[in-house]
Amino acid sequence: MSPSRILVVDDEAQIRRVLRAALSGHGYEVIEARSGEEALEKVGTERVDLALLDVNMPGMGGLEACRRIRAESEAAIIMLTVRNAERDKVEALDAGADDYVTKPFSTPELLARIRAALRRTSLSPDNAPAKITFADVEIDFQARRVTVGGRQSRLTPKELDLLRYFVAHANRAVEHRELLQAVWGADYGGELEYLRVFVNQLRKKIEPKPAKPQYLLTEPWVGYRFHLPQAVPPKP
The domains found in the chain, sorted by start residue, are 5-122 (3.40.50.2300), 131-226 (1.10.10.10)
Nearest CA to 52 out of 15, 83, 27 is that of 15
| Tens digits of residue pLDDT in 53-92 | 999 888 898 999 999 999 888 899 999 988 877 788 888 9
Identity of the amino acid at 50: L
CA distances in angstroms from 157 to 26, 32, 57, 75, 129, listed in the order given = 24, 23, 26, 8, 17
In sign, the C-alpha dihedral spanning 209, 214, 216, 218 is positive
CA distances in angstroms from 62 to 17, 56, 65, 67, 101, listed in the order given = 19, 6, 5, 9, 13
Cα 9 to chain centroid distance, Å, stands at 18
How much is the pTM?
0.83
| Tens digits of residue pLDDT in 125-145 | 455 678 888 888 899 988 889
User: CA–CA separation, 50 vs 81, rounded Å?
Assistant: 17
How confident is residue 224, by pLDDT bands cut at 50, 70 and 90? very high
Better-predicted residue by pLDDT, 236 or 97 = 97
Q: Are 10 and 38 in contact (CB under 8 A)?
A: no
